[in-house]
Structure 1
């Protein structure tokens, strides 16, 4: 195995300078799963945290091999989970987004939800590394501290059950991110993909650093400033399994994207499900809670 590479980066979860929460830390809730501290106040999101260290990315193994892993470390060098330990909320409707797959790449990278500290790895099938049949055209990854509960049927989406994973994000900005990068994003829309009967939400978002971020706030803004993008995202995820001989994926909600308010509702509900998971109110099965 090659020597591990450590890349230092600042985590992008600082409160925005114009946030109403700035300077009011006493009004925030804490949810540190490895600590006895658990202070909950009434908030829209059940479990958020003031947790803003420097962090490092530690790569183990060689890319495009079965043993390749991207671990996250805090400023003391301790491993943390990008799923459980990176906070969901930033403030002012902005969220942290963990990049698994950079745009214009095809290796199917994902957080290993069943491994300690949930590092990013390349997905496998029958012992072989998985690739999309063509490049994905957007940065793709997850919202930390969310979980699609496989025991929970969604009556609004054909009664489909959650897919047992964090919520996916499709980030439509112009820059190509890196594996393990954490971007501040704002949600714009939601697509209710149904993959082999499981509900697999796709939250469409834009990086706050993108030049067009201030112009785009909902579906109408996406259509105006990124015309055709929502249709392209839906079609890409609908069809990407067809070259492998599988049927096309389906979409609920009338096959149309839901608006920003609905996307925020999805984030709220899946954050609540994640909170129950890490509190062990729900059986975790093979999922790692470390």
Structure 2
């Protein structure tokens, strides 16, 4: 991992859609021609697919079960109707310097949704505890989800963050834009900073980002810009994730890196390292354990 840290963050390793073969993309290219789709597509099988992929209208979602039940799943499918994994098959980057972000929990929601990393095709589902659905004690105030093709390695102790080990999940993203998104939306975002949350001894990175279609996106390019144009947001995010377990009788979460959000360069370093960890995982250089690689 030491070699990983020496890598320049200007280049990111990523993979093609429907392929797990890594290749390298430059982050210097410019962002043009965003495609927005939010329509319903009816196929001959009478199943309803909702197409909400901003970067790629060919990726759709297929809902199984009812929201608020143990059977509820949000699957991702390609334009042939074949299920794909939002964790493994959606590319991290498309070569324009932005990253793909998959929404699991829309802002102003309280259901604790997550990618089911131990199930085939890693659909989004509601988290459970002792057989019951989990909810946050209060609504989350930002769009929340994951970066595909990233993985926080539970065998790696991060010497920069109190020696904490990865939490065995994709990297989380807090998207601070003004629009309430939907479960399964795929947004192009740019990272602005990162918080190093330590949850019961596990390192659980929180990338702070903004969607490129947000009206303020051009104004914020690093962590200092967030405080200028979204005053109080960084401390609000930290405090929310610090305290959300307290109503359940658990201790507050902690944060490394001086209890502050690190800058964009550090966030890019985190993304690079966790993408490389994911590449080792899918190559089975590291044992996947119960994780699904399909």
TM-score, normalised via structure 2 length: 0.83
Report the equivalent of 1:75: 79
Structure 1 position 33, deviation (Å): 9.0
The answer to whether residue 212 in structure 2 is matched with residue 223 in structure 1 is: no
Match of 2:261 among 253, 257, 262: 257
2:140 corresponds to 1:136 = yes
What is the distance in 2 between the residues matched to 1:193 and 1:60?
32
The one-character-per-residue Cα deviations of 1:80-134 (angstroms, maximum 9, x if unpaired) are: 0000000001333200000000000000000000000000000000000000000
1:30–1:231 distance in 2 versus 1, CA, 3 Å = closer
Aligned pair in 2 of structure 1 residues 243, 214: CA closer, same or farther (>3 Å)? same
Equivalent pairs counted in the alignment come to 256
CA deviations over 1:201-233 (Å, ceiling 9, x no partner) = 000000000000000001111011000000000
Where do 5+ consecutive residues of structure 1 fail to align? 1-27, 45-50
Q: 1:34 to 1:220 in 2, by over 3 A?
A: closer
Match of residue 101, structure 2, among 97, 101, 104:
97
Whether the 8 Å contact between 1:147 and 1:165 is mirrored in structure 2 is: yes
Q: 2:65 and 2:270 mapped to 1: Cα distance?
A: 36
Give 1:42 shift.
8.1
- Could you tell me how far apart the structure 1 residues matched to 2:112 and 2:177 are? 20
Task: Give the corresponding residue for 1:58.
Answer: 62
Q: Is the 8 A contact 2:14 2:149 kept in 1?
A: no
Kept in 1: contact 2:15–2:92 (CA 8 A): no
1:55–1:34 distance in 2 versus 1, CA, 3 Å: closer
Instruction: State the match for 2:50 in structure 1.
Output: none
Runs of 4+ in 1 over 2 A off after TM superposition: 28-35, 37-44, 90-93
Q: 2-side partners of 1:41 and 1:186: how far apart?
A: 18
Cα distance in 2, alignment partners of residues 29 and 194 from structure 1: 26
What stretches of structure 2 of length at least 5 have no aligned partner?
1-11, 28-54
Q: Secondary structure at the match of 2:278?
A: helix
Alignment root-mean-square deviation, CA: 1.9
Residue in structure 1 matching 2:273, options 269, 272, 286: 269
What are the equivalent positions in structure 2 for 1:10-49 lying under 5 Å apart?
31=15, 38=21, 40=23
> Matches of 2:64 and 2:209 in 1, distance apart?
30
Distance 1:225 1:33 in 2: 34
Residue 270 to residue 30, structure 1, CA distance change in 2 (3 Å): closer
Q: Which residue of 1 aligns with 2:190?
A: 186
2:92 to 65, 84, 88: 88
Asked if structure 1 preserves the Cα contact closer than 8 Å seen for 2:99 and 2:190, the reply is yes
3-state SS of the aligned residue for 1:103? coil
